[in-house]
């Protein structure tokens, strides 16, 4: 017969499985709130708590489903995305209605004017059906290898972005929004690292959002934004930045330093070593350096962002050809094989760390 402690442990184990089983409900409810712009609707009332009816009245639909909305808001309030509290309705002692307001979490989902630091585009990208279906292929990948995204769609994610302008726009917006957030953390955590650099090439720089922020803080730097031709073709012009289209597996423009934010995790070790070898060719041997902003996994870590790193690792498995997150030993291995025997790791106030690597 089980003891009381064993019974509780068994029930907690069962509860944990139910929680994991329906974790998708959290992300889908979050995506729904972003699609309906619920944080912006609440914000539009001037910051005061609002009723469900007030939220529904500003959803662009002739007959919004109030009961569906109430259930979604109830879950998101439980997850601290929104704050909910009850007030007694006028004219009744037992009738109550719920008022909703923004929390520090939902402020990261604002999309209106002035919402420069928003994760809303990333929520929409990660919840896109094309990015959700590869997660269903993990078992097939374990049994027979291959890439989950290619198993699901028959082509790579980069091919989808190239062939589908709408998805390309969604993808670029998501990368741009994360760049704005993460570059601020990078600039705060790596204040002295950019001071001695005269020129900087951002490899895989997208439409240039990260480099723009760096140049604003360090206007003496001559920036080169380097990405695939169809990506830089949509990039807005900016003083101090040259936009170059090309393939990092072939050659990288020369500069004092190479910057790569959230690039290496897209690729397997062999591809990363090829990229690093091209980086070494692009920088001066004596005082050149590579600045890698990426996740450094801590398997036993219990920090604010440590669990997110492991979730990103599976996202890479779902979406990329060999992409993965790495712990320090895994980083050390590819750096050495790529021609960078010396490195240091610098923390930033985000889930990214700076890996500063030198060829000598």
Which of the residues are catalytic? 265
Residues 6+ apart with CB under 8 A from 196: none
- Report CA-CA distances (Å) from 257 to 2, 6, 206, 252, 357: 62, 57, 18, 11, 10
Contacts 24+ apart (CB under 8 A), 300-306: 305/350, 305/351
DSSP lists the bridge partners of residue 353 as: 294, 347
In order of 74, 115, 302, 331, the CA distances from 20 in angstroms are 19, 32, 19, 30
Task: Residue 313: count other Cβ atoms within 10 Å of its Cβ.
Answer: 16
The token pair at 88 is 């007694």
CA 101/CA 54 separation, integer angstroms: 12
CB 205 within 8 A of CB 226: yes
Please list, in sequence order, all residues whose beta carbon lies within 8 angstroms of the beta carbon of residue 168, skipping any fewer than 6 positions away: 161, 162, 230, 234
CB contact at 8 A, 198 and 176: no
Q: Give the whole-angstrom CA distance, residue 23 versus residue 197.
A: 44
Q: How far apart are CA 184 and CA 178, in angstroms?
A: 10
What distances in angstroms separate CA 359 from CA 88, 224, 286, 288, one per listed residue? 68, 21, 8, 7
């Amino acid at each position: 017969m089980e003891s009381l402690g064993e019974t509780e442990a068994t029930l907690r184990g069962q509860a944990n499985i139910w929680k994991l089983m329906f974790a998708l409900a959290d992300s889908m409810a979050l995506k729904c709130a972003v699609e309906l712009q619920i944080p912006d609707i609440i914000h539009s009332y001037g910051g005061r708590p609002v009723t469900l009816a007030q939220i529904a009245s500003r959803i662009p639909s002739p007959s919004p489903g109030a009961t569906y909305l109430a259930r979604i808001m109830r879950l998101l309030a439980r997850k601290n995305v929104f704050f909910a509290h009850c007030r007694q309705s006028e004219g009744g002692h037992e009738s109550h209605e719920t008022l909703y307001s923004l929390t520090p979490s939902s402020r990261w989902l604002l999309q209106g004017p002035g919402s420069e630091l928003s994760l809303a585009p990333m929520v929409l990208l990660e919840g896109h059906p094309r990015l959700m279906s590869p997660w269903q292929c993990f078992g097939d990948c374990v049994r027979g290898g291959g890439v989950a995204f290619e198993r699901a769609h028959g082509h790579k994610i980069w091919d989808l972005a190239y062939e589908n302008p709408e998805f390309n726009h969604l993808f670029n917006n998501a990368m741009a929004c994360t760049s704005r957030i993460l570059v601020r953390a990078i600039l705060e955590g790596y204040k002295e690292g950019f001071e001695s650099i005269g020129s900087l090439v951002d490899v895989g720089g997208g439409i240039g959002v990260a480099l723009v922020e760096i140049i604003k803080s360090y206007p003496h730097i001559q920036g080169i934004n380097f990405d695939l031709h169809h990506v830089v073709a949509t990039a807005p012009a900016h003083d101090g930045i040259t936009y170059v289209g090309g393939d990092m597996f072939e050659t990288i423009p020369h500069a004092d330093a190479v910057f790569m934010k959230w690039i290496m995790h897209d690729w397997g070790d062999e591809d990363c070593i090829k990229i690093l070898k091209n980086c070494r060719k692009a920088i001066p041997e004596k005082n050149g350096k590579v600045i890698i902003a990426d996740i450094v996994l801590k398997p036993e870590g219990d920090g604010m962002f440590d669990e997110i790193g492991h979730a990103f690792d599976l996202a890479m498995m779902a979406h990329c050809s060999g992409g993965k997150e790495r712990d320090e030993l895994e980083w050390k291995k590819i750096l050495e094989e790529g021609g960078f025997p010396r490195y240091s790791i610098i923390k930033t106030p985000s889930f990214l760390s700076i890996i500063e690597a030198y060829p000598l």
